[in-house]
């Protein structure tokens, strides 16, 4: 009887630890207010704090149309649509892990709208106004990407030209979506500081915390399966781009400490399509636009002109 009690206690504690790991890594969190005090804590933003906050403030005052769709698994997903010119090519933008389009899209948004593109900024599942309780590092989100593409085509017509764009987890989301069967409307993909696979980025973060990835990763995978209902090994960015046929622009900061720079090289090397790589010296995570605005916008413009001919 004592053995049974001890075994039950051990199993109970094990599941408590698994749930804590799930909450820490995959669960939705309450959004932070994007003010200067909070942004100062973000080391990659510090050197560009004034420019980032200025763009966020301007961005938040721009009028938009709120739109929504229903995901493949019944979640309400919300996005903000900004129209610059009727019938213009349209960028669908996906933000990063526990972030927002307001923050991650604050720089590129101004350039895209100034160039006359229409922009749809989506709240990824389990972020912002979208439903959901689990963040799956692009595994479920890649299917949401296809749903947003279909929404745009159904609304704006079969001739609408679409460019997918993402930052961080959003970058990997759009890259992994490329193996889902993109319609001909999708002319290209822009991926800023994406990771080469969900598995690799989680292992990388575990190692940065000076903890054993060989032990914690299997536990994280198990917690995702039990409490999140998804397989953490269910998608791979490099595998996806090896099957992709549309042109891709990869952007990555050489000073990125969150998504290591070598992952960009892995993605580029895996591509079998037309790929362009912009490497930005000294840029931290998701800060390539602010580190080198001229180089970033030129690469974006040149890529868009090439694929939209």
Strand partners, 186: 162
| The pLDDT of residue 9 | 75
Q: In what order do the strands lie in the sheet with 248-253?
A: 65-70, 76-82, 118-122, 90-94, 162-167, 186-192, 248-253, 275-280
Residues 194-210: pLDDT tens digits? 999 999 999 999 999 99
The residue-averaged pLDDT of 286-307 equals: 96
Q: Are 84 and 111 in contact (CB under 8 A)?
A: no
Identify whether the C-beta of residue 255 lies closer than 8 Å to the C-beta of residue 284: yes
Q: What's the pTM?
A: 0.94
What per-residue confidence (pLDDT) applies to 35? 53
pLDDT category, 11, cuts 50, 70, 90? confident
* Other CB atoms within 10 Å distance of the CB of residue 204: 18
Q: Is 44 left (phi over 0), alpha (psi -120 to 50) or beta?
A: alpha
**Mean pLDDT score across all residues of the chain:** 93
The upper half-sphere exposure of residue 272, i.e. CA atoms within 13 Å in the direction of its Cβ, equals 11
Through-space distance between the first and last CA atoms of the chain, rounded to whole angstroms: 75
The pLDDT of residue 41 is: 52
- Report the pLDDT averaged over residues 72-80: 97
Among 70-84, 96-110, 150-164, which stretch is predicted with the lowest mean pLDDT? Answer: 96-110
Mean pLDDT in residue range 101-112: 91
* Confidence at residue 47, expressed as pLDDT on a 0 to 100 scale: 79
Residue 48, pLDDT score: 86
Mean pLDDT for the stretch of residues 231-238:
96
| pLDDT tens, position by position, 19-64 | 999 999 999 998 766 555 555 556 567 778 888 889 889 988 999 9
Q: Is the pLDDT of residue 3 over 90?
A: no
pLDDT at 136 exceeding the cut of 70: yes
Q: Which of 32-36, 67-71, 77-81, 84-88 has the lowest mean pLDDT?
A: 32-36
Q: DSSP 3-state assignment of 234? A: coil
Question: pLDDT tens, 154-186?
Answer: 999 999 999 999 999 999 999 999 998 899 999
In the block, which residue shows the tokens 């990659």?
44
CA distances 77 to 121, 125, 133, 160, Å, are 11, 6, 12, 21
List, in order of start, the domains of the chain with CATH numbers: 31-197+235-307 (3.40.50.1820)
Residue 223 near residue 282, CB atoms below 8 Å: no
Dihedral of alpha carbons 264, 265, 270, 271, sign: positive
- Determine phi and psi for 69, rounding to 5 degrees: -135, 170
Q: Characterize the bridge pairing of strands 118-122 and 76-82.
A: antiparallel
Q: For the chain, where are the alpha helices, taking DSSP H only?
A: 2-25, 36-39, 49-60, 101-104, 108-114, 141-156, 169-177, 198-208, 213-223, 237-241, 261-270, 288-291, 293-307
* Residue 227: count of CB within 10 angstroms of its CB: 18
């Amino acid at each position: 009887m004592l053995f049974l009690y001890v075994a039950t206690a051990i199993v109970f504690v094990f599941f408590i630890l698994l749930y804590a790991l799930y909450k820490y890594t995959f669960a939705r969190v309450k959004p932070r207010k994007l003010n200067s005090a909070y942004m100062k804590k973000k080391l990659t933003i510090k050197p560009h704090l004034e420019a980032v906050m200025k763009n966020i403030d301007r961005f938040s005052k721009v009028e938009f149309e709120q739109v929504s769709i229903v995901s493949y698994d019944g979640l309400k997903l919300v996005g903000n649509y900004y129209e610059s010119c009727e019938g213009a090519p349209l960028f669908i933008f996906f933000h990063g892990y526990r972030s927002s389009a307001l923050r991650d899209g604050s720089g590129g948004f101004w350039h895209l709208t100034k160039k006359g593109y229409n922009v749809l900024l989506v709240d990824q599942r389990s972020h912002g106004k979208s439903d959901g309780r689990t963040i799956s590092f692009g595994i479920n989100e890649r299917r949401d990407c296809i749903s947003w593409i279909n929404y745009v085509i159904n609304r704006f017509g079969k001739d609408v030209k679409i460019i997918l764009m993402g930052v961080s987890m959003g970058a990997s989301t759009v890259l992994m979506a490329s193996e889902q069967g993109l319609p001909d409307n999708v002319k290209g993909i822009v991926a800023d500081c994406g990771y080469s696979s969900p598995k690799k980025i989680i292992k990388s973060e575990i190692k940065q915390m000076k903890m054993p990835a060989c032990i914690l990763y299997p536990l994280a995978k198990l917690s995702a399966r039990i409490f999140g209902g998804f397989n953490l090994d269910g998608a791979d960015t490099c595998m996806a781009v090896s099957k992709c046929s549309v042109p891709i622009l990869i952007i990555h900061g050489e000073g990125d400490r969150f998504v290591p720079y070598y992952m960009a090289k892995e993605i580029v090397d895996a591509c079998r399509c037309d790929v362009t790589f912009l490497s930005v010296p000294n840029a931290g995570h998701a800060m390539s636009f602010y580190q080198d605005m001229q180089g970033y916008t030129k690469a974006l413009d040149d890529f868009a002109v090439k694929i939209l001919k």
